[in-house]
């Protein structure tokens, strides 16, 4: 609950964060902002106490009062036995700024309205949600690249600090489904593959324009290691050529037609990663930013 008990109102333009702007826009009740002085004929500002409550709740998913977080305190050892942060450091870490706050009145009001003026990590003795996702992804890459590329489901951990590789894929797919990143490639779709065509050669068959022979699979590609044959196709000729032609020359382009519907993970359909101050519906589950970290950051 906010420690601020004033009756001021603040507008969206007083914050840099899109999540904060949207939160305020949904709660405007005043035609005047008490901080930047803006006035309109319609409501533009929300009660500052509600805004501070929202900021506080968002911050506490990542930071907390050291005593609440369980950080050890030893007076003979110099105080808190771990990293602590000032409120300004927390604002900076979360990219929260006040662009129209020339005299720091809004920043001071928000800071004084929070329940703490000294912070530590919310879980100082274990990985936070973002760190857990990041280290889980790094472990997934290590296992699939260098250890158990096609049998990574066999990699199981005895602790729950990070996710197993199979759990990482489940997370990615569940997030992708939630944000609409899966799309259907219908039967009969045209796909293209380009291949360099040396002088005197004329590539025209599916065998010549399809997957490369095993002896030619000698380098690491985006999805395939050396020795593993995979076909990389594009949905337009220009992209197929751009993926292949690194210098002028003659290139043959093969056209392939899909024989069944295919479910495609389309990473161009990912939404922007929301800030931690973005309000999202409960069906997202957990913190919104963390819910998109694996699919958007890596």
Let me know whether 236 and 165 are in one domain.
no
Let me know whether 41 and 86 are in one domain.
yes
Q: How far apart are CA 150 and CA 271, in angstroms?
A: 30
Query: 102-125 burial by CB neighbour count: b if 16+ within 10 A, else e?
Result: eeeebbebbbebbebeebbbbebe
Which structural domain range is residue 246 located in? 190-257
Let me know whether 168 and 287 are in one domain.
yes
Let me know whether 199 and 252 are in one domain.
yes
Let me know whether 170 and 34 are in one domain.
no
Q: How far apart are CA 241 and CA 252, in angstroms?
A: 9
**Residue 198 counted as domain residue:** yes
Residue 219, classified by CB atoms within 10 Å of its CB into exposed (0-12), middle (13-18) or buried (19+), is exposed
The tens digit of pLDDT for each residue in 104-115 reads 999 999 999 998
**Residue 230 counted as domain residue:** yes
pTM to 2 decimal places = 0.70
Nearest alpha carbon to residue 291 among 262, 270, 265? 270
Beta partners for residue 263, in sequence order: 184
Between residues 243 and 149, which one has the greater pLDDT? 243
pLDDT confidence of residue 294: 41
Spatial neighbors of 227 by CB under 8 A, at least 6 apart, are 214, 217, 218
The tens digit of pLDDT for each residue in 171-194 reads 888 988 988 999 999 999 999 999
Which contiguous run of DSSP H or E holds residue 45?
A: strand 45-47
pLDDT confidence of residue 160: 74
Mean pLDDT of 146-163: 74
Let me know whether 289 and 167 are in one domain.
yes
Mean pLDDT of 130-135: 85
Let me know whether 282 and 160 are in one domain.
yes
Neighbours of 55 (CB within 10 A): 25
- 1 pLDDT higher than 60: no
Signed CA dihedral, 73, 75, 81, 86: sign only: positive
pLDDT confidence of residue 198: 87
Let me know whether 165 and 289 are in one domain.
yes
Total tally of structural domains belonging to the chain = 3
pLDDT confidence of residue 256: 93
Let me know whether 43 and 158 are in one domain.
no
**Residue 129 counted as domain residue:** no
Let me know whether 160 and 208 are in one domain.
no
Instruction: Give the best-scoring range by mean pLDDT among 61-70, 161-170, 240-249.
Output: 61-70
The tens digit of pLDDT for each residue in 44-87 reads 999 999 999 999 999 998 899 999 999 999 998 889 999 999 99
On average, the pLDDT of the chain sits at 86
Residue 284, classified by CB atoms within 10 Å of its CB into exposed (0-12), middle (13-18) or buried (19+), is middle
Contact by Cβ (8 Å): 115, 55: no
């Amino acid at each position: 609950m906010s420690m601020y008990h004033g009756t001021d109102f603040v507008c969206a333009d007083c914050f840099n964060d899109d999540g904060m702007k949207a939160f305020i826009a949904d709660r405007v009740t005043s035609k005047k902002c008490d901080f930047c002085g803006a006035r309109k004929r319609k409501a533009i500002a929300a009660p500052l106490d509600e805004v501070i409550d929202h900021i506080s709740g968002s911050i506490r998913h990542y930071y907390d009062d050291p005593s609440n977080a369980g950080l050890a305190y030893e007076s003979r050892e110099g105080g808190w036995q771990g990293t602590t942060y000032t409120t300004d450091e927390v604002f900076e870490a979360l990219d929260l700024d006040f662009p129209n706050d020339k005299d720091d009145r809004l920043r001071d009001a928000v800071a004084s309205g929070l329940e703490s003026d000294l912070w530590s990590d919310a879980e100082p003795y274990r990985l936070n949600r973002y760190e857990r996702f990041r280290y889980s992804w790094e472990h997934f890459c290590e296992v699939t690249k260098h250890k158990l590329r096609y049998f990574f489901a066999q990699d199981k951990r005895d602790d729950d600090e990070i996710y197993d590789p199979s759990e990482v894929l489940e997370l990615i797919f569940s997030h992708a489904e939630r944000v609409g990143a899966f799309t259907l490639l219908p039967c009969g779709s045209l796909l293209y593959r380009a291949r360099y065509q040396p002088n005197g050669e004329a590539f025209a068959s599916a065998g010549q324009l399809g997957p490369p022979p095993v002896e030619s699979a000698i380098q690491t590609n985006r999805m395939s290691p050396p020795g593993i044959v995979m076909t990389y196709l594009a949905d337009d000729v220009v992209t197929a050529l751009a993926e292949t032609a690194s210098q002028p020359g003659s290139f043959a382009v093969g056209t392939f037609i899909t024989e069944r519907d295919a479910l495609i993970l389309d990473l161009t359909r990912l939404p922007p990663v929301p800030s931690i101050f973005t309000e999202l519906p409960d069906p997202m589950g957990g913190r919104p930013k963390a819910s998109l970290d694996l699919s958007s950051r890596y």
